[in-house]
Amino acid sequence: MKHLVWFRNDLRVGDNPALAHACAQPGQVEAVYLAAPEQWRRHGLGDNKLDWIRLNLAALQQRLARLGIPLHIAVAERFEDAADCMVSLMQQRGMSHLYLNAEPGYDEAQRDRQVQQAVQQCGLYWHRFSERNLLEPDSLFNGQGQPYRVFTPFARKARTLLPTVSEPIVSPDPYPLSAPVEPEAQWPLGVSNRFSWQPGEEAAWTRLQDFIEQGVETYHQCRDFPAQSGTSGLSPYLALGIISPVQVYHALSRAGAGEGQQCWLNELLWREFYRYLMHHFPKLSRDQAMYPDKEPIWHNNSAWFERWCQGKTGFALVDAGMRQLNQTGWMHNRTRMLCASFLVKDLHIDWRWGERYFMQQLLDGDFASNNGGWQWAAGCGADAAPYFRHFSPSRQAERFDAQGDYQRRFLPELGDGELHYPNEMIDHKAQSQRFTQMVKEMTHVDES
C-alpha cells in the first residue's frame, strides 16, 4: 500500500496528525506540496514570502528524507486545479490513500471538498485531520449558545479549556526499511533569500527556546517597543505551520505563569480567536466585514496608496513600519496597528487594499490574523477599535519610539541628529475628523 501526505501550511514533521497517521500504516509514504506560481504571481506575492516558502520546503524535504519519505513539488496553474493534480499524482505513483490536515478559510474548504470528491470517485481513500489549534472552534459558545464576538469572554472561556489541550504528537520514527531519499523537489520560481529567519523546524524550536529562556518574562513590558526585540518573532514559523500552537503552548506551560507568560498566552489566544471567527463567520473569508454598517464609503486613491506602500507618507513611524515590511517581510505589531489605522482612518482607503498588500509582503501572512487585524484597525471587525479612536502617528512615536531608534533604522534620511522628517502628505487631525464624519454619515444612511 502507498500513502500520500499533502503538506500545506503545516510544514513540519512533529505534531502533524496527517503524517503520523500515514506513517503508522503498513506500506510506503510519500509527500507532496502543491505550488501555484501563476496564481501567486497574479496575487502579487512578494519575493520575501516566496523565498520563505521555498527555504522551508527545502528544510522539510531534508527532514522527510531522513524518514525515507520523498517530497514532491507538484505545480498547478490555479488553486482549483488541486483535484486533478492530486488524482494524477496518486495514479501515476500507484498511491491509494491521501492524508492531510485541515486549513481555515472558505476557499480552502471548497478546494478540499473538490479534492475529496475527485479522489473518492477514483476509488482512492481520503483522510482529513483537524488543524492543530489549541481549541476546536465548536467547543466554545457563549451563554446563549452563540459564537463569541468579543475577545475577553472568549479568552476567559478558552483559558478554562486549555488544560485539555492534548500533548504534541511525536514525530514518526525514521522509516526502517529504505535508505534516506535524496532531495529531489524542483522549485518553480527563482528567488533569493533576503531575510534573517532561519528556515526549518530546528530553527523554529531554537527561537522558541531562546524566547522562553530570555524574553517571555519581560514580554508584557517590552512588547510594544518596535526598536527592541521584545517579542518572540515566531509568527513566520506559526504561519507556515513549521511549529504548531500546541507545541508552543506546551513549551510555554512549562515556563511558569508569570505576568509575561500570561500576556504572551493572551496573544496566542488572539490568534485562536481570529481562526474561531473565520470558522463561525465564513463571510469573513469572502471579503466582508463583520459589521458592514460600520464601514464608510471609501475614497480609494491609488497614488496615496502607492505612497503608503512605499513608506513615503511623510509620517516617520508609519514610513519606518512600511519600510520594515518591504525590506524584511515582517513588521512589529505596534507599527502594524499604526500603519493599518493610517491607511484607513487618515487616507480613507479600503482596508481590503491594505490587507492584500500585507498578505503579499508578510512572511507571517496568515489569512485569519491578517483579516482580523485589518478589520480591527478599520473599526468594522469583531471587538474592533471604535471608529472614533484614531492612532496619532506623532503621539505613537513619542510613546513607543521616543529615542527614534526604530525610525532611524529604517529611514536612513533621518541621519543621527534631531528627528526631523518633513512633508506629511495629509493633515492628520483634519483627515481623522473627516473619517469619523464619514462613518456617522454611513450610519445615518443605514438608519433612514
Active site (catalytic) residues: 267, 270, 298, 333, 351, 374
Site membership for ligand FAD, residue 270 (CB under 6 A):
yes
Tell me if 234 is assigned to a ligand binding site.
Answer: yes
User: Shortest Cβ distance from residue 173 to ligand FAD (Å)?
Assistant: 30
- Of the pair 267, 424, the CB lying nearest ligand FAD is at 267
Site membership for ligand FAD, residue 333 (CB under 6 A):
yes
The region, left, alpha or beta by phi > 0 then psi within -120 to 50, assigned to residue 68 is left
Site membership for ligand FAD, residue 28 (CB under 6 A):
no
Site membership for ligand FAD, residue 370 (CB under 6 A):
yes
Tell me if 365 is assigned to a ligand binding site.
Answer: yes
In the three-class reduction of DSSP (H, G, I as helix; E, B as strand; rest coil), residue 249 is classed as helix
Find where cell 443605514 sits. 446
Q: Determine phi and psi for 199, rounding to 5 degrees.
A: -75, 160
In Å, what is the CA distance from 62 to each residue of 56, 57, 197? 10, 9, 18
What cell was used for 270? 488572539
**For ligand FAD, which stretch binds (CB under 6 A), given 61-69, 123-131, 155-163, 358-366?**
358-366
Site membership for ligand FAD, residue 101 (CB under 6 A):
no
- Of the pair 28, 231, the CB lying nearest ligand FAD is at 231
The residues in 223-242 that bind ligand FAD, with binding defined as CB under 6 A, are 223, 231-235, 238-239
Residues contacting 334, CB < 8 A, separation 6+:
224, 225, 226, 396, 400
Site membership for ligand FAD, residue 8 (CB under 6 A):
no
* Cα–Cα distance measured from residue 382 to residue 393, given in angstroms and rounded to the nearest whole number: 24
**For ligand FAD, which stretch binds (CB under 6 A), given 43-51, 97-105, 367-375, 437-445?**
367-375
Site membership for ligand FAD, residue 341 (CB under 6 A):
no
Tell me if 235 is assigned to a ligand binding site.
Answer: yes
Tell me if 231 is assigned to a ligand binding site.
Answer: yes
DSSP 372: H
Task: Dump the DSSP string for 293-362.
Answer: GG-------HHHHHHHHHT-SS-HHHHHHHHHHHHHS---HHHHHHHHHIIIIIT---HHHHHHHHHHH-
315: how many CB neighbours lie within 10 A of its CB? 27
What cell was used for 167? 500533548
Tell me if 272 is assigned to a ligand binding site.
Answer: yes
Site membership for ligand FAD, residue 275 (CB under 6 A):
no
Tell me if 270 is assigned to a ligand binding site.
Answer: yes
The residues in 191-230 that bind ligand FAD, with binding defined as CB under 6 A, are 223
Tell me if 264 is assigned to a ligand binding site.
Answer: yes
The footprint of ligand FAD on this chain (CB under 6 A) covers a number of residues equal to 27
Site membership for ligand FAD, residue 358 (CB under 6 A):
yes
The region, left, alpha or beta by phi > 0 then psi within -120 to 50, assigned to residue 172 is beta
Residue ranges for the binding site for FAD? 219, 231-235, 264, 267-274, 364-366
Which residues sit at the interface with ligand FAD, rule CB under 6 A? 223, 231-235, 238-239, 267-268, 270-271, 274, 333, 336-337, 340, 358, 362, 364-366, 369-370, 373-374, 377
Residue ranges for the binding site? 219, 231-235, 264, 267-274, 364-366
